[in-house]
Amino acid sequence: MTSKEFRVVFSVIVKRTSMEALNSVGIQPSAQRLAVADYVLFTDEHPFTEQVLARARKSVPMLSRATVYNTLNLLVEKRLLRQLTLAEGRVVFDPKMERHHHFVDEVTGRIHDVPWNALDVRRVERLRDFTVSDYQVVLVGRAKRSARKSN
């Protein structure tokens, strides 16, 4: 299989999977919603809205910013996507729904996933003045060169 044939097959699989994901939570698939979902539900990145808009416009050039915002908010509401504010107030989206932490590379700005069990957070229940419903650790620093290349 050539790389072009692989890209075509992969694209068909992602489209079918995006449609199934939307249908599974009661979202009516449209070309615009699928363009957003095809990227944001299957990326290893943590894109912000403008990145999603640019990527989705490659398949639906007339896609509006409002449609992207509305679709992202709907995907968050239906728990297919998480909305995070990790660095400098920048809102990003994360399709990885299982628990994990994040590392923000202060040189590149890239956000890396950190496995949940890689860190040992203790005594959250001792925060007497707070009721904690969820938490994650956001680490900030510099990724080693190998991590920058592999992600």
Q: 94 forms bridges with which residues in the sheet?
A: 82
Q: What is the pTM of this model?
A: 0.77
CATH number at residue 67: 1.10.10.10
pLDDT, residue 64, reads 95
Domain assignment of residue 63, yes or no: yes
How many structural domains compose the chain? 2
Same domain, yes or no, for 13 and 65? yes
CATH number at residue 117: 3.30.1490
Instruction: Tell me the one-letter amino acid at 12.
Output: V
Domain hosting 127: range is 98-150
Same domain, yes or no, for 75 and 103? no
Is residue 88 within 8 Å of 72, Cβ to Cβ?
Answer: no
Tens-of-pLDDT digits for all 151 residues of the chain?
555 444 433 444 445 688 888 999 999 999 999 999 999 998 889 999 999 999 999 999 999 999 999 999 999 999 999 999 876 778 899 999 888 998 989 888 888 989 898 888 888 888 888 888 888 888 889 988 755 555 5
Same domain, yes or no, for 69 and 11? yes
Burial 33-44 (b: 16+ CB within 10 A, else e): bbbbbbbbbebe
Domain assignment of residue 16, yes or no: yes
Same domain, yes or no, for 83 and 126? no
Domain assignment of residue 39, yes or no: yes
Q: Which residue in this structure is represented by tokens 């009516």?
A: 28
Give the Cα separation of 102 and 105 in Å (integer). 10
Domain assignment of residue 38, yes or no: yes
Give the Cα separation of 106 and 139 in Å (integer). 10
Domain assignment of residue 21, yes or no: yes
Q: State how far Cα 52 lies from the chain centre.
A: 10
Domain assignment of residue 93, yes or no: no
Domain assignment of residue 27, yes or no: yes
pLDDT, residue 28, reads 92
pLDDT, residue 63, reads 94
Q: State how far Cα 42 lies from the chain centre.
A: 8
pLDDT, residue 6, reads 40
Same domain, yes or no, for 82 and 19? yes
Domain assignment of residue 110, yes or no: yes
Same domain, yes or no, for 121 and 64? no
How many C-beta atoms surround the C-beta of residue 92 within 10 A?
20
pLDDT, residue 11, reads 44
Same domain, yes or no, for 26 and 74? yes
